[in-house]
Amino acid sequence: MIIVMKENAPADAINNVLTIVKECGFEPHLSKGEQVTIIGVIGNKANLKNINFELISGVDKVVPVTESYKLANKKFHPIPSVVKVGNTSIGSDNLTVIAGPCAIESEEQLLLIAHNVAKSGATFIRGGAYKPRTSPYSFQGLEEEGLKYMQRAKNETGLATICEVTCPDAIEAAVKYIDMIQIGARNMQNFHLLKEAGASGLPVLLKRGLSATIDEWLNAAEYIISEGNPNVVLCERGIRTFETATRNTLDISAVPVLKEKSHLPVIVDPSHAAGVRSYINPLAKAAVACNADGLMIEVHNDPAHALSDGPQSLNFEQFDELMLQLKPFAKLVGR
């Protein structure tokens, strides 16, 4: 932590800050300039946390120098993590591809999609059973019944399974039926849910909040890991900006930024980011090329009649073609 004093802060004010820092058990480092004086305070922030230095007389601002997340931080865990899920793993040298419908509509539909995406090379089947919808009048999902269909899809295809959870009941049901849970963008800072997800023992895919900074995102991961669950995978799915040509703005730079700051695997969801079917293919290639560990892609048997997010879903043929085209890109990055 660096304390920057106001220009022309009197000697008294500077001494007062020095005294407080020492009372907390630290040795302050003073740098006096003609215009500005700064005081370096290095040590465990926990000892200082109930003093607001910004409010002490003569202080201009306080600049933190270390990140608040530790368990998700590459500095303390330099080797990239591999998260095992079912018979597959995320973060190793294969390309994870999670495919399936936004919402599970029926058992027949889910099985049909699962068999098709498996044939094309997906490693996971996804499907929403608990849907967070902007309007209370939109389709809200099949809940536990949907999770049972997921289990059957797994049994028939061998695909790993993942579903979004939106409440403690959903987590409880997920533990019974599926391999991995997803925390959606709208719940990225639902800290209560993060803790329950951490306690569940299941691997967790943590989507980035619509306006979450990468720092906040890693702090959200920290909530899960600090419950004793290190199996966290991050999923970039677009952030909210002024641009309306796409549903959200895919922050592709998040991939290299996360690879530098954290050891957790990173996957990219071009479907939710773009919101438009024709942009998914080029964005998926971009994600693979810049070394994402995987992709999450919406696939539907009949996009024109999907109960949710049809316009951004691929049909079987489009998904199959994408998978074929992705292969040489994956090979180039060693997957």
- Residue with token string 């489009």: 318
**Whose CA is closest to 221, among 188, 247, 174, 258?**
188
Select the residue interacting with its own copies from 23, 49, 228, 334 (CB under 8 A): 49
Range 136-165, binding its own copies (CB under 8 A): 136-139
Report d(CA 255, CA 73) in Å as an integer.
15
Shortest Cβ distance from residue 208 to its own copies (Å)? 10
Total residues at interface with its own copies (CB under 8 A) = 102
Range 76-115, binding its own copies (CB under 8 A): none
CB 117 within 8 A of CB 295: no
Burial (Cβ within 10 Å: 0-12, 13-18, ≥19) of residue 189: middle
Comparison of 85 and 292: residue with beta carbon closer to its own copies: 292
Select the residue interacting with its own copies from 40, 86, 121, 158 (CB under 8 A): 40
Contact between 240 and its own copies per CB under 8 A:
yes
Shortest Cβ distance from residue 49 to its own copies (Å)? 7
Contact between 32 and its own copies per CB under 8 A:
yes
Phi, psi of 108 (to 5 degrees): -60, -45
Range 274-313, binding its own copies (CB under 8 A): 274, 277-279, 282-283, 285-291, 303-307, 310-311
> What does the longest C-alpha to C-alpha distance in the chain come to?
77
Compute the half-sphere exposure of residue 267: CA atoms within 13 Å on the CB side of its CA: 27
Comparison of 80 and 132: residue with beta carbon closer to its own copies: 132
Contact between 34 and its own copies per CB under 8 A:
yes
**Residue range at the interface with its own copies (CB under 8 A); choices 84-92, 110-118, 172-180, 240-248:** 240-248
Strands 88-90, 83-85: pairing is antiparallel
Cβ contacts of 213 within 8 Å, gap of 6 or more: none
Contact between 317 and its own copies per CB under 8 A:
no
CB 102 within 8 A of CB 128: yes
Phi, psi of 243 (to 5 degrees): -75, 135
Shortest Cβ distance from residue 94 to its own copies (Å)? 19
Contact between 56 and its own copies per CB under 8 A:
yes
Select the residue interacting with its own copies from 92, 120, 249, 301 (CB under 8 A): 249
